Amino acid sequence: MISPGKAQDVAALPALAPTDAGVLSLDDVLATSAKQSPQILEALARARSADGRRLSAEGAFDTLFSAEGGSRVLGYYNGTYADAKVARPIENWGGQIYGGYRVSSGSFPIYEDKNYTNQLGEIRAGAVFSLLRDRMIDERRFGRVSADADRAVADAERQMVAIGVQRRAFDAYLNWVAAGQRLGIYRHLLDLAQERQRGLQRSFEAGLRPRIILVENDQTLLRRQAMVVQSEQAVANAANTLSLYWRDADGRPLIPRKEQMPVSLPALPMANVPQVVTRPDLIVAQLRERLVRDRLSLDRNALLPRLELQMEVARDIGDVGLGGVSRSGNDVRFGLRFSVPLEQRAARGKLMQTQAELDANRRRTQWLDEQIRAEIDGIGITLSAADRLIALSEDETQRAQEMATAERRRFTMGASDLFLVNSREEAAASVSLTLLDQRLRRIAANADLAASSGNAAALGL
């Protein structure tokens, strides 16, 4: 069972921002989110894991040291031998190069005659080259290519995660500011009702208004107070959500104070629809398609016969040993090794699978590319109409406010009733909320365009 103290170490509780903190800007939120978000840090860790797999793939080309020895302790023969060898794979050509040293003493039976050396042993160097199968690609080189692809995919997925996190941070900030703007609109409505209530109270006390007018306005006052309370709750919830992305230097979530609320939504320039898209998920699809092509080359390689050229130069050193003078001088050897499966069913089956997988990857990449383009074009359509809709909402808001002001004036002069005044005021508030939503949609569409096109810089990355 995890104690409360240990749970606190696992997940730090959000804290209120310092009292001296200034107005919270969008850039501040995006900057801390990019550096401190656990999801982004997790993606960075996965990218480092891919670096480790790349290093492991290089291990297939490590230099290998091997040694063996033996001795006949009983019997007619008393031979002893030792052999050491260092081999290194050839990275860009199938095969290996090697060098070795062996030495022996005593006598060996005829079937172990190769163990004889001169008294100071034998030094040798050689190479094995693949001429057909494994010449252009083999399992080791494909493992390195695959690890490179995994590392590139991990980096692209890290960017994809970061863009998604920053997009959500963008939304969290906008929702917080918009909640504050809505609260201001409802507070203005409440202020109007409270001011009118004081005027009606004076008129009632002077005998100019009936009591029912006070009751009616008091009902409106209570309804608007409820709107304000609900809006304050929405602001608190939005601030709590924003704390997931706005953090201190230690990564602890910070809840912004109401004093940090900006007076308006962030002003962002209109974004242009890009012609070239470099979205991480599209890059991932292209990388995986390229990896399947490399695997296809590996499968075609398996259809080739194995033909290896072997070369070795050896020289015994020192006085002639028990093996005789035949060990003296230089020994140069060349050889060929050939093998081929007669039916090739395993290789052909793998080739068919990989070709089908390549075709599927091509279709998937094509669909993703078309989907991204349609998504970006749709956002472009939204942006092209955004300014016009905002202009229309601004005109409507101005007229609604003029109507509400005129209705209040008519009510003061006794030419209107309370129902019409409330209707005009709430209609003006509704239009103001619509204008706020239109502005919010335009800013959100800019963020959507940045995320959909992979524009990391626009999201603070």
Q: 178 with 265: CB under 8 angstroms?
A: yes
Distance between CA atoms of residues 17 and 255, nearest Å: 6
* Helix (H) or strand (E) segment spanning residue 228: helix 211-242
3-state class (DSSP) for residue 132: coil
**Does one domain contain both 75 and 119?**
yes
**Does one domain contain both 427 and 278?**
yes
Q: Is residue 298 part of a domain?
A: no
According to the model, what pLDDT value does residue 10 have?
54
- Domain of residue 156: give its range: 18-57+141-289+356-459
**Does one domain contain both 49 and 173?**
yes
- pTM beyond 0.85: no
The one-letter amino acid code at 450 reads A
Question: In sequence order, what DSSP letters do the residues of 137-178 get, joined into one string?
Answer: --HHHHHHHHHHHHHHHHHHHHHHHHHHHHHHHHHHHHHHHH
> For residue 437, is pLDDT > 90?
yes
**Does one domain contain both 52 and 112?**
no
**Strand-pair partners of 85:** 66, 100
- Grade residue 204 by pLDDT with cuts at 50, 70 and 90: confident
- Report which of residues 6 and 390 the model is more confident about: 390
**Does one domain contain both 100 and 249?**
no
Lowest-pLDDT choice from 224-238, 270-284, 295-309: 270-284
User: 54: which residues sit within 8 A by CB, 6+ positions away?
Assistant: 144, 147, 148, 150, 151
- CATH of residue 276's domain is 1.20.1600.10
* Cα angle for residues 364, 367, 373 (degrees, 5° grid): 140
**Does one domain contain both 380 and 283?**
yes
Nearest residue to 40 (alpha-carbon basis) of 285, 284, 247 = 247
Which residue's structure tokens are 């104070």? Answer: 257
> For residue 12, is pLDDT > 70?
no
According to the model, what pLDDT value does residue 4 have?
46
**Does one domain contain both 380 and 340?**
no
- Grade residue 270 by pLDDT with cuts at 50, 70 and 90: low
Proportion of the chain above pLDDT 90, given as a percent: 57
Nearest residue to 269 (alpha-carbon basis) of 447, 433, 390 = 447
User: 267: which residues sit within 8 A by CB, 6+ positions away?
Assistant: none
Q: Is residue 445 part of a domain?
A: yes
Lowest-pLDDT choice from 145-159, 265-279, 334-348, 391-405: 265-279
Q: Is residue 240 part of a domain?
A: yes
Q: What is the mean pLDDT of residues 207-230?
A: 90
- Grade residue 211 by pLDDT with cuts at 50, 70 and 90: confident
- Report which of residues 82 and 250 the model is more confident about: 82
Cβ atoms within 10 Å of 221's Cβ, excluding its own: 18
3-state class (DSSP) for residue 454: coil
Angle in degrees, 0-180, between the axes of helices 345-412 and 418-453, rounded to the nearest 10: 160
Q: What is the pLDDT of residues 91-147, one digit of tens each?
A: 888 899 999 999 999 899 988 888 888 889 899 999 999 999 999 999 999 999 999
User: 266: which residues sit within 8 A by CB, 6+ positions away?
Assistant: 25, 26, 173, 174, 177, 443
- Report which of residues 176 and 325 the model is more confident about: 176
Distance between CA atoms of residues 259 and 267, nearest Å: 20
> For residue 456, is pLDDT > 90?
no
According to the model, what pLDDT value does residue 343 have?
79
Q: What is the mean pLDDT of residues 227-255?
A: 94
- Report which of residues 160 and 329 the model is more confident about: 160
**Does one domain contain both 30 and 148?**
yes
Pairing mode, strands 254-255 and 15-16: parallel
**Does one domain contain both 329 and 252?**
no
Q: What is the mean pLDDT of residues 205-216?
A: 84
Q: 190 with 228: CB under 8 angstroms?
A: yes
Distance between CA atoms of residues 293 and 297, nearest Å: 6
Q: What is the mean pLDDT of residues 155-170?
A: 93
**Does one domain contain both 190 and 276?**
yes
According to the model, what pLDDT value does residue 7 have?
43
Which of the 8 DSSP states describes residue 90?
-
> How many independent structural domains does the chain possess?
2
Q: What is the mean pLDDT of residues 332-357?
A: 89
Q: Token pair of 412, please?
A: 């003061």
**Does one domain contain both 315 and 197?**
no
Q: What is the pLDDT of residues 366-408, one digit of tens each?
A: 999 999 999 999 998 988 898 899 999 999 999 999 999 999 9
Query: Mean pLDDT in the chain?
Result: 89
Distance between CA atoms of residues 103 and 341, nearest Å: 38
